[in-house]
Amino acid sequence: MRKRILIIDDDVRHLITAKEILEEEGYEVITHHYAFGATNTVRVQQPDLVLLDVNMPGLSGDRLSKVMLSNEKSKDIPIVFYSSNDEDSLRKAVSEYGVKGYICKGSIFDLRKGVAYYLGQSQ
Amino acid sequence: MTFETECHTVGVLIASRENVPPQTRVNRVAENFFGSTSLDAVAIVEGNEPVGLVTRQKLLFTLFRRFGFELYGRKPVITVADTEPLTIHKNERLDVAIDMALQRPVEDIYDEIIVVNDSSCFMGLLSVKQMIIQQSNALANSMVQKEIAKARIKELENIEKIKSQFIANVTHELRSPVNAIIGLAELMKISCEKGYMDQLNDRLSLLMSSASNLRAIITNILDLSKIEAGKMEVIYEGFDMAALLRESAETTRVLLGNKPVEVDVITPISPLHIVSDPLKVRQILTNLLSNAAKFTEKGKISLLLNEEEGRIKIIVCDTGLGIKDEDISRLFTAFTQLEDVTTKRHEGTGLGLTITKNLIRMLGGSISVSSTYGKGTAFEIVLPKMSSE
Ligand SMILES: Nc1ncnc2c1ncn2[C@@H]1O[C@H](COP(=O)(O)OP(=O)(O)OP(=O)(O)O)[C@@H](O)[C@H]1O
Ligand SMILES: [Mg+2]
């Protein structure tokens, strides 16, 4: 079965690029623009992996991850931060919020490798 | 810096060395007091050793009583003196001396204290009043210093906080467009390889806007570095301020896109020729207007120009988000944005106003702001009409 990946970001440019790159890899990719309503999309779509941007207006990705991890219907779906933030701060956020890990934006190679890694891990 | 109250020893505070031998007549000592209003007490010293103390108050009180002069005037001063005055060593601490003085009976509290050296020789007199003043000054000083130090520590903590927030901000603001550019370029490469040309145009526009966004941020960071290094130059030229204002208004309309916001320019005097640095003035206006455009969703942005007493006044006001009173003081601090980095709705690095303030200062002007949260904001700039050079 094709793996389903959900990308949540406020920046359309990142949604477009990540979606296409991952579709090239043969994944099924859904995108959600902005943080609002994202928890619902997660519950309905039940993706195999969530790529979550951190800096988003209104509700930041790290706080959104907390909401998702505390909900029965989404708590087992692996979340990975996908962000342009400083790597140290991402590492800190990962341990603080208890998500699976992070992928730095900006390298197609890292994105492909990271997604494959975290999907493999969740099997 | 230490926070301790400075503790002087009393030796340095000796207020007078006035002394007389014990056999001096009371009248003579009284004359001394009449002759010098600043003389408060005289020690009675025999050989080198202090044997008593007469204070102005007590001596005059004795003499002015009925028959005082007749009874005591011709007697040796020692007969009316306090023969057991408080006597302390010159190395005694000020606070201890004050304590000892204050433990005396009420009527003696303000009597001078005699200071002696290691061999019990008379050195001088201490004024209790002066010691107390000294002590409370020292205390007040140390409290002021403590407050200053505390404020400084807080300032440093704030600077540290602002610095790390800057790093977080700039990291994201610089990387985000770079990453978008790389991603978009990769996508286009893939499309080209496969011969899919249909989306290429859209992707290129997105890539170009990301690139110019990035350029704007880099320019700001470089500008601020230049200002901080003292390398920003002012080049004076004559130009029409009214025209520059109208031109900036035009740019603002473009920035606003299709937001329902009007841009008004009110220039009663046109043309208004001034001598300043037009590039810097333009940059100042662009920064203020880009903020107004960014933080106003509907209503109006107004630009007002006025001339008064060799100065020009420009007001940029909007009907936007507004700024809370408690945030006003942070506005012009480098890298400060009022929104939280991770949830902010508006792009930017928080450098615009800091650069603006610095540029205005370089042009010999000033900027002030007034705002009502939820209603709108007005920035007022005053610039000299002619360069002072
Ligand atoms: N006209 C305005 N209305 C409401 N808030 C404002 C206005 N102008 C400035 N601010 C607030 O002050 C902050 C600092 O403004 P500044 O221009 O220095 O930075 P910025 O616009 O966020 O980023 P940059 O100008 O570097 O792109 C803004 O982030 C915003 O919160
Ligand atoms: Mg700005």
Does residue B164 lie within any of the structural domains?
Answer: no
**Residues of the domain holding B332:** 237-384
- H/E stretch holding A49: strand A49-52
Where residue B307 sits, what CATH number does that domain have? 3.30.565.10
Q: Assess whether B221 and B257 both reside in one domain.
A: no
| Nearest CA owner, ligand 1 atom 17 | B352
Q: Assess whether B221 and B250 both reside in one domain.
A: no
- Look-up: residue for tokens 């390398």? B231
Quote the CA–CA distance of B161 and B154 in Å, as a whole number: 10
Where residue B117 sits, what CATH number does that domain have? 3.10.580.10
Q: Assess whether B185 and B248 both reside in one domain.
A: no
Q: Assess whether B263 and B325 both reside in one domain.
A: yes
Count up the domains in chain B and report the number: 3
Q: Assess whether B85 and B29 both reside in one domain.
A: yes
Q: Assess whether B316 and B199 both reside in one domain.
A: no
Residue ending a domain, choose from B229, B257, B280? B229
- CA trace torsion A11, A15, A16, A21 (10° rounding): 140
* Cα-to-centroid distance, B244 and ligand 2 (Å): 19
Residue ending a domain, choose from B202, B229, B256? B229
Residue ending a domain, choose from B212, B229, B246? B229
Shortest-distance atom of ligand 1 to CA B337: 29
- Name every protein residue with a CB atom under 6 angstroms from any ligand 1 atom: B 220, 287, 291-292, 295, 318, 320-323, 331, 337-339, 348-354, 377
CA distance B206 to chain A (A): 7
Instruction: Work out whether the CA dihedral A22, A25, A26, A27 comes out positive or negative.
Output: negative
Quote the CA–CA distance of B133 and B144 in Å, as a whole number: 16
Structure pTM? Answer: 0.59
Q: Assess whether B218 and B284 both reside in one domain.
A: no
Does residue B181 lie within any of the structural domains?
Answer: yes
| pLDDT tens for each residue of chain B, 389 residues long | 334 445 568 888 888 899 999 999 999 999 999 888 888 999 999 999 999 999 998 888 888 887 888 888 889 999 999 999 999 999 988 888 888 888 888 888 889 999 999 999 999 999 988 888 888 888 888 888 888 888 888 888 888 887 777 777 778 888 888 999 999 999 899 889 988 888 888 889 889 888 988 888 888 888 888 888 888 899 999 999 999 999 999 999 999 999 999 999 999 888 999 999 999 999 999 999 999 999 999 999 999 999 988 899 999 999 999 999 989 988 887 767 787 767 777 777 788 999 999 999 999 999 999 999 999 999 999 999 987 65
User: Cα B114 vs. chain centroid, distance in angstroms?
Assistant: 45
- Look at B180 and A57 and tell me if their CB atoms are within 8 Å: no
Residue B298 has phi, psi (to 5 degrees) of -150, 160
Q: Assess whether B225 and B241 both reside in one domain.
A: no
Report whether B49 contacts B120 (CB < 8 A).
Answer: yes
Q: Among all residues of chain B, which has the CA nearest to that of A61?
A: B342
Q: Assess whether B275 and B338 both reside in one domain.
A: yes
Q: Assess whether B312 and B331 both reside in one domain.
A: yes
Q: Assess whether B33 and B100 both reside in one domain.
A: yes
Q: Assess whether B191 and B244 both reside in one domain.
A: no
Q: How confident is the model at residue A106 (pLDDT cuts 50, 70, 90)?
A: confident
DSSP structure string for B281-308: HHHHHHHHHHHHHHH--SEEEEEEEEEE
Does residue B156 lie within any of the structural domains?
Answer: no
- Look-up: residue for tokens 């190679």? A109
Residue B124's alpha-carbon distances to B60, B107, B128, in angstroms, are: 22, 22, 13
